[in-house]
Amino acid sequence: MQDDSTMDIADKDAIYLNGWLVLSLLLIMAAAVLASSYQRLNSGQPPFPQVLLFGLLIFLSKGFVIIGPNLAAVLTFFGRYSGTVARDGFFWCNPLANRNIVSRRINNFTTETIKVNDKNGNPIEIAAVISWRIQDTAKAVFAVSDCASYVQMACESAIRELASGRVYDHSLDGDEHGKTLRGDLDGVARELEMKVEEHVRAAGITILSAKITHLAYAPEIAMAMLRRQQAAAVVAARKQIVAGAVGMVKDALDEIREQNIVTLEEGQKAALVANLLTVLVSESETQPVLTLNK
């Protein structure tokens, strides 16, 4: 029974040579074989050994590989991983090895707008853009069948997990200090990046950035939530107005008492408080009413 640890393949350097050096040697050997063949033909002998050597040189020439910038060649020899050529240039490697060219360039993936419930159960629409690249070429080739599809599924799973753990807006749940989706976009981006990184680490992929591109309530509840937000904003504003008005009335009463402007009975204080609060809290202009004693 094979140990599971042997299935944990990681990047390693392959055995390869400078392509120009090997090409020069093969050309010199080919020239020597052709010269020997010409001599045997002139002497009337069939150049069978030279033909075999020339066929061997053609076979060895299959080991040449050209690797561009930010590309890598993953080599497998009779079904076993034999290493990765991670440098760009012209090289020669085992001609019997199978070569899989892998791109290590940065890829951007924009998720589709998906519908998910937030922590309070409200349906929202959310989408994100993910920047990723292949870090471990061996895992990217042997651990998953398609890196792009794997990243797509991992992003959708991470987005659903992230959205279900936060509320959309703190004004709807009364938690002013809680982490929300709309009020903490930087924190949401960092958390999304970490969650996607956890999902794709097994495939040798690293996440460079993750940003939310779309965030809104689902259309079926958007208008209701907008009215609810407006009502919450009105209530919050009214609380602030009332708190300010009460403070102003208290300051006015304290000033009258300290400067001994007039002595007010309890009933007069109550009437003065009511009038001041009416003036300060009312949205429309107030008209004073004067009572004249005859």
Is the confidence at residue 27, as pLDDT, over 60? Answer: yes
Please determine, looking at this structure, whether the domain spanning 107-217 carries the CATH number 3.100.10.20.
no
What's the pLDDT tens digit per position in 119-152? 888 888 889 999 999 999 999 899 888 888 899 8
What's the pLDDT tens digit per position in 154-173? 998 999 988 888 888 765 54
Question: Exposed/middle/buried for 97, CB within 10 Å: 0-12, 13-18, 19+?
Answer: buried
Buried b (16+ CB within 10 A) or exposed e, 131-152: ebbbbbbbbbbbbbeebeebbe
Tell me, what's the pLDDT at 220? 66
Phi, psi of 198 (to 5 degrees): -65, -35
d(CA 105, CA 123): 36
Three-class secondary structure of residue 278 per DSSP: helix
Give ∠ CA 233-126-227 in degrees, rounded to 5.
Answer: 25
Which residue reads 């080919």 in tokens?
30
Q: Which residue has the higher pLDDT, 235 or 172?
A: 235
Handedness of CA 226, 232, 233, 235 (dihedral sign): positive
What's the pLDDT tens digit per position in 98-110? 999 999 999 998 8
d(CA 143, CA 139): 5
Question: Which value, in Å, is the radius of gyration of the alpha carbons in the chain?
Answer: 39
First-last CA distance in the chain: 113
Which residues face 211 on adjacent strands? 129
Residue 5: pLDDT band (50, 70, 90) is: very low
Q: Which segment of 20-29, 37-46, 259-268 scores lowest on mean pLDDT?
A: 259-268
Q: What is the mean pLDDT of the chain?
A: 80
**CB-based contact 85:73 (threshold 8 Å):** yes
Q: Which segment of 59-68, 132-141, 261-270 scores lowest on mean pLDDT?
A: 261-270
Which residues face 108 on adjacent strands? 131
Residue 72: pLDDT band (50, 70, 90) is: very high
d(CA 242, CA 244): 5
Tell if the pTM clears 0.75, that is, is over it. no
Which residues face 116 on adjacent strands? 124
| Closest to 192 in 3D by CA, of 283, 96, 128 | 128
Question: Exposed/middle/buried for 287, CB within 10 Å: 0-12, 13-18, 19+?
Answer: exposed
